[in-house]
Each structure stands twice: as C-alpha cells, then as structure tokens.
Amino acid sequence: MIKTTKLTKSFGEKEVLKGIDEEIKDGEVVVVIGPSGSGKSTFLRCLNLLEIPTSGEVLFNNQIINKKGVNIDEIRTKMGMVFQNFNLFPHLTVLENITIGPIQIKKTSQEEAKKIATDLLQSMGLLDKADAYPNSLSGGQKQRIAIARALAMQPEMMLFDEPTSALDPEMVGEVLQVMRNLAVNGMTMVVVTHEMGFAREVGDRILFMDEGVIVEKGTPKQIFDQPQNERTKNFLSKVL
C-alpha cells in the first residue's frame, strides 16, 4: 500500500531520516518504536507528505506521490492521521468535528456525513457526546473523537503518532481498544507508540528506529524476545 525508497529528510544541516526503505502492505499493522528524536514522527509525516522528503520516493498504491503534479490533498484524504494532542476544533461540537471533513473536502451531503459520524460515535460508545464541545471531554474521549474524525473520511490507511502519550494512564486503555478493533477489522495502520504491550499484541511487524534509520525489524516475537541488534536490546531493556 505504501512504500518508501531511499527516503531521506533533512532539517537544515541535520539529516533526520537517512535512507529508509520500507513497505507496508494492505491490512498490515506496523508499529514503530525507538528513542525520542530517532525520527519516528518525521518518518510518519513523510508518508502523508506533512513533511516533504529531501530525497527518495514515497509510493502510495504504486504511485510516486512526492513529485510535481500529484494532488497531495487528495492523497491525504486516503491516509487518516491521529496525533498526540488530538487537534480537535474547539469551536465545533463533536458531531461537527467529525462531519466537517467529509462535507468540506469530500463533498459528502450533510445527511450522509451525519450518518457516518453517528455510526462511528455509536461504535465508540460516544453517541451521547455528539453535541458536546471538545473542552468538556476527557483526554481519552477527545482522542477517540479524533480517531472517529479521521475514520469519517473513510481512509485506506491510518497513521498514529503516539496517540496515547498525552493521556492520563487510566484513559490509555480505551483508546488502545479502539485501535485494536480497527486492526482486527483489517485497517492498514502505522503506529508510533511506547505501548509495548499493544505493539506485541496488535503489531504484525515492529520497526525499531534509531538515529534516522530502521535498525531492526521483525515480528513482535523476534523483536521483543530475540532482538539481534545491541541498540534494540539497549532500548528494550529501558522500556520493558
């Protein structure tokens, strides 16, 4: 579904991604782990061109998307993104937060957008919050709404950048549960997280990043039970 070849990204003199070759298949759940500053967010943001790669290619469904003439906005609608800090619109209700994308960007009718949003809220147990404003919600509720908002665009894949890192511990579980359900239902997902339990249980593959490269990758069993690289071992010894 998405593939990168020799992907690099520099900010000024600093090369943050140093040639990433990776491929994420339809229906796969790939979890990206690694120390702070290793380039995880930058990698994720290059996949949907929130950051423009310095060199190399990003292919989405076999089409190079980081080249002139590609409609980035259209491609982005196919990749839902969820951030650490929710980024909900504070002046819109929960329902409006979820319907605004489909209505404004996909030209979905009000009625249809409302139906999609209502179904999503129902599936997350948040239907009673449809008319609430984000500020009245808990962090866990806000993040589930943010996921619903991304899903309302009916994306082909979902990118998650530390979706539970800003949450109080007691709210982490409800967000991971929504993500687990998505995974079970076949959504293609790339998830940056420090939740190693989730990574092991839900991930099809783990990528360990350090200093702008994918140092080691494999199944959760391979990475967590038999890491080969010293840097992977060292990182895991600190977080497990």
Q: For Mg ion, give the closer residue by CB, 41 or 97.
A: 41
232 binds, among Mg ion, ligand ADP, none (CB under 5 to 8 A by kind): none
Is there binding between residue 3 and ligand ADP (CB under 6 A)? no
**In whole angstroms, how far apart are CA 71 and each of 186, 191, 207, 234?**
26, 25, 29, 42
Q: Does 38 bind ligand ADP (CB under 6 A)?
A: yes
Cα angle, residue 222 at apex, residues 34 and 24 outer, rounded to 5°: 65
Per CB under 6 A, 36 contacts ligand ADP: yes
Among 3, 40, 76, 114, binds ligand ADP (CB under 6 A): 40
Q: What is the CA radius of gyration of the chain?
A: 18
Q: Report the residue number, 37 or 197, with the smaller CB distance to ligand ADP.
A: 37
Give all strands (DSSP E) within 144-225, no chain letters: 157-161, 188-192, 205-210, 213-218
Beta bridge partners of 57: 5
**What order of strands is seen across the sheet that includes strand 188-192?**
79-82, 157-161, 188-192, 29-33, 205-210, 213-218
- Gap between the Cα atoms of 225 and 118, Å rounded: 42
Only one of the segments 34-42, 128-136, 179-187, 199-207 lies at the binding site for ligand ADP (rule: CB under 6 A); that segment is: 34-42
Question: Which residue's CB is nearer to Mg ion, number 41 or number 193?
Answer: 41
Q: Quickly tell me which residue has 């000024």 as its tokens.
A: 12
Binding mask 4-23 for ligand ADP (x = CB under 6 A): -------x----x-------
Structure token digits, residue 15: 């090369």
Any contact of residue 41 with Mg ion (CB under 5 A)?
yes
164 binds, among ligand ADP, Mg ion, none (CB under 5 to 8 A by kind): none
Position 37 contacts ligand ADP (CB under 6 A): yes
C-alpha to C-alpha distance for 51 and 170, rounded to whole angstroms = 33
Rule CB under 6 A: which residues touch ligand ADP?
11, 16, 34, 36-42
Rule CB under 5 A: which residues touch Mg ion?
40-41
